[in-house]
Chain A
Amino acid sequence: MTHKPDYTAAELLAILSARQLKDGMVVFAGVGIPLLAATLAQRLHCPGLTILFEGGVVGAFVEPGKLPPSTNDQRCTARANMVLGSADVLLLLQRGYVDIGFMGGAQIDQYGNLNSSFIGDANHPAVRLPGTGGGNDIASLANMIVAMKHEKRRFVENVDFITSPGWMHGKDTRRQSGLPFGGMFRVVTDLAVFGFDENTHRIKPLALNLGVTREQVQDNTGFKLDFDSDVGLTEPPTDRELSVLRMLDPLRLYIG
């Protein structure tokens, strides 16, 4: 990298993942970067984006500087269209009303399975993590975007525990597990944007972020990546994207 960028890794994550959303979509967003990125998209290119939160919120319009500490807080309901019970908002996913599920991730593997439950053996864990929350439900039912920091310990060949299913063991195994819809669509990291091979359903780099090399991505990944010859480059954050993002999170709660 020739110069230090004037944005943080979390800002880059929020902006790149916001760009994945299209106007008119219904998106089910988790707390943190997903909530922030969905709200950013709503303020930029997706004024007609409908945001759902697992606390039971339909059509959220989070206020700048009043980011909620979770997706179950009253701040999530500011200017929303509707509030529902939490099982009922999750049932909208099951019925098929949600275009995109959007989450963060603690640990991901080559098939986009996410682990937020255990490090080590589930029956005698080295670390007990907080668990699925709505993650398993969202990932079981919707097309998914995941935004996460790219570190070798977080990008592993096979997760210790499948909390939220991606493409399971590749190919048709997700469908065979009883999950005929949804699946991993994009993984956005501070190094690159990834998609999944149509047939094998293995993760593959689509575009590298500014100043990032293939070697750097490979070195920070715990398994061998296959780079297509036509891997692209992502556009760096624009001044407008950064200024709107910083207006939304002036306390830098989520953007670091």
Chain B
Amino acid sequence: MPRLDATHRHEPTQVNQVKPYEKLRRDLAQRDRSLREKVVTLDDVASFVRDGDLVGIGGSTMSRTPMALIWSLIRAGKKKLTCSRSITSSDGDLLFASGACEHIITSWFSQGILWGVSKVMRHHVESGKARFEEWSHLAMGMRLRAGAMGVPFMPIRTMLGSDVLKQRPEAKEMECPFTGERLLLVPALNPDVALIHVQRCDAYGNAQIDGLQFVDIDLAMAANKVILSTERIVSNDQIRRVPDQTKIPFFTVDAIVEVPFGCAPHECYGVYEPMIRHMEYYVGLVNKDPIAGMRDYLDRFVYGPKSWAEFLDLIGIEEVLAAARLGNSIYDA
């Protein structure tokens, strides 16, 4: 089997252009899918992503956001990424404001429902500096499902008639050849790279997800490369004890980073809830001044710390532990 090296052989995705099946299969055939250990450090992650890549981000809103992976790509100075996510939160602010990404494909983008409209998103989109490409939540999921299934599109029955559809010439209406009904075809989304955070996986990449899985299984299957961050790397024996909990098979995975609290300040199901005090501090800072506030936040919390542990230290041990106590409490309900 050919070895995968960190320099990539496939061409970057023309955003929203459906990949022909030939190319999809050829790209996959070139990947090293052998059973091998794939553990790397957080600093190594940047070598798996190229400027201009289409990056699929796992989790939704403030849940299981692969924040440490995003943080490391920003620190590495990645440019011109296009990112997709079901629902985008402060991760989108960071990607836009750092200049790592100029185009986000998503169904909803603000920091969180508690804080109104993100001034950072508004600043970048209204000034034309960056694009916020809107699809419905179901459409986002079904685009990845098509990508995961190796078919060029999926038919859905939403977005029809709306102005959301008028903004999306990439989607096509069709008359069903069986029933004559009107359907919307949404194009497959096959990201160059997927970033997914999980509760645990083994060194090969067999990954277990607790609680809400969102679109992450389809995302892993659809992408041409998968980078996992995980709260914990466990033994393969431990995975085999509860195979029903394994949601992502190792052969889709290309790199694994162990990052405890890797979603901070967002949540990881059963491990920690969002660090709301830090989120409130963040929102207050950046919504007051989306330019200077973001520069200040990026300097202090993204570029400043020497390591992810130092970033957690800046959030504060008290808040991290409180979030962990609440995270675990879901099992007491």
* Chain A contact residues, CB within 8 Å of chain B: 31-32, 54-57, 63, 69-70, 72-79, 83-87, 90-91, 94, 117, 122, 125-137, 140-141, 161-165, 168, 173-174, 177-179, 253
In the bound complex, residues from chain A placing their C-beta under 8 Å from that of B215 are 85-87
B126 contacts A by Cβ under 8 Å: yes
B213 within 8 A of A: yes
**Contacts of A122 on B, CB cut-off 8 Å?**
163, 167
Least CB distance, A6 to chain B, in whole angstroms: 26
Chain A residues whose C-beta falls within 8 Å of the C-beta of B211 in the assembled complex: 74, 77, 83
Binary A-proximity of B133-177 (CB < 8 A = 1, otherwise 0): 010111111101100000000001111111110010000010000
User: Would you give the shortest CB distance from A53 to chain B, in whole angstroms?
Assistant: 9
A136 near B218 with CB under 8 A, answer: no
Q: Is the CB of A131 within 8 A of B60?
A: no
A136 to B126, Cβ gap below 8 A?
A: no
CB of B217 within 8 A of CB of A72, answer no
Shortest CB–CB separation between residue B131 and chain A, in angstroms?
11
Nearest CB in chain A: distance from B181 CB, A? 8
Q: Do residues B163 and A70 form an inter-chain contact, with CB atoms below 8 A?
A: no
B217 touches A168 (CB 8 A): no
Judged by DSSP, the binding face of A is loop
Q: Is the CB of B110 within 8 A of A130?
A: yes
Between A and B, 17 residue pairs with Cβ closer than 8 Å are: A55-B60, A63-B333, A69-B114, A70-B113, A78-B330, A78-B333, A79-B333, A86-B215, A117-B163, A127-B117, A131-B106, A133-B87, A136-B158, A137-B138, A137-B159, A162-B163, A177-B161
Q: Are B161 and A174 in contact (CB under 8 A)?
A: yes
Q: Most chain-B CB neighbours within 10 Å: which of A69, A74, A174, A178?
A: A74
State the CA gap A90–B247 with chains docked (Å).
Answer: 20
| Complex: A177 Cα to B114 Cα, angstroms | 34
Among B68-76, B265-273, B306-314, the one that faces the other chain is B265-273
Supposing A69-B276, A132-B137 touch, asked if A140 and B157 sit within 8 A by C-beta, the answer is yes
B214 sits at the interface (CB 8 A):
yes
Contact between chains at B162 and A86 (CB < 8 Å): no
Shortest distance from the beta carbon of A114 to any chain B beta carbon, whole Å: 10
Kindly list 10 other residue pairs between chains A and B, CB separation below 8 angstroms, not including A69-B62, A87-B215, A130-B109: A31-B113, A83-B212, A83-B213, A87-B140, A127-B126, A132-B108, A134-B136, A136-B137, A137-B138, A173-B161
Which residues in B have their C-beta under 8 angstroms from that of A179?
157, 160-161
Question: Considering only CB atoms, which chain A residue lies closest to B142 in the complex?
Answer: A87
Nearest CB in chain B: distance from A233 CB, A: 32
Q: Does B262 contact A (CB under 8 A)?
A: no
B327: chain A residues within 8 A (beta carbon): 74
Question: B residues touching A (Cβ–Cβ < 8 Å)?
Answer: 60-63, 86-87, 106-110, 112-114, 117-118, 121-122, 125-126, 132, 134, 136-142, 144-145, 156-164, 167, 173, 181-184, 211-215, 217-218, 267, 269-270, 273-274, 276, 327, 330, 333
The residue in B118, B121, B122, B163 that gathers the most chain A C-beta atoms within 10 A of its C-beta is: B163
CB-defined contacts of A140 to chain B, threshold 8 Å: 136, 157-162
How many Å lie between the Cα of A137 and that of B9 in the bound state?
A: 38
Are A86's CB and B60's CB within 8 A? yes
Q: State A69–B276 Cα separation when bound (angstroms).
A: 9
Q: Which of A74, A83, A137 contacts B137 (CB 8 A)?
A: A137
**Which chain B residue has the least Cβ–Cβ distance from A83?**
B212
Q: Chain A residues with Cβ under 8 A from B126's Cβ? A: 125-128
Establish whether residues A72 and B60, one from each chain, have CB atoms under 8 Å apart when the complex forms: yes
Residues in B with CB closer than 8 Å to A131 are: 106-109, 132, 134
Closest Cβ of chain B to A133, distance in Å, is 4
- Give bound CA distance, A76 to B333, whole Å: 11
The reply to whether B270 and A74 form a contact with Cβ atoms under 8 Å apart is: yes
Contact of A94 among B140, B145, B158, B330 (CB under 8 A): B158
A179 to B184, CA, bound (A): 11
- Please name all residues of chain A whose beta carbon is closer than 8 Å to the beta carbon of B161 when the two chains form the complex: 140, 162, 165, 168, 173-174, 177-179
Contact (A136, B164) CB under 8 Å given A74-B269, A74-B270, A130-B108: yes
> Known contacts A87-B218, A253-B114; is A73 also within 8 Å of B164 by CB?
no
Q: Does the CB pair A130–B212 fall under 8 Å?
A: no
- What CA separation (Å) do A122 and B134 show in the bound complex? 11
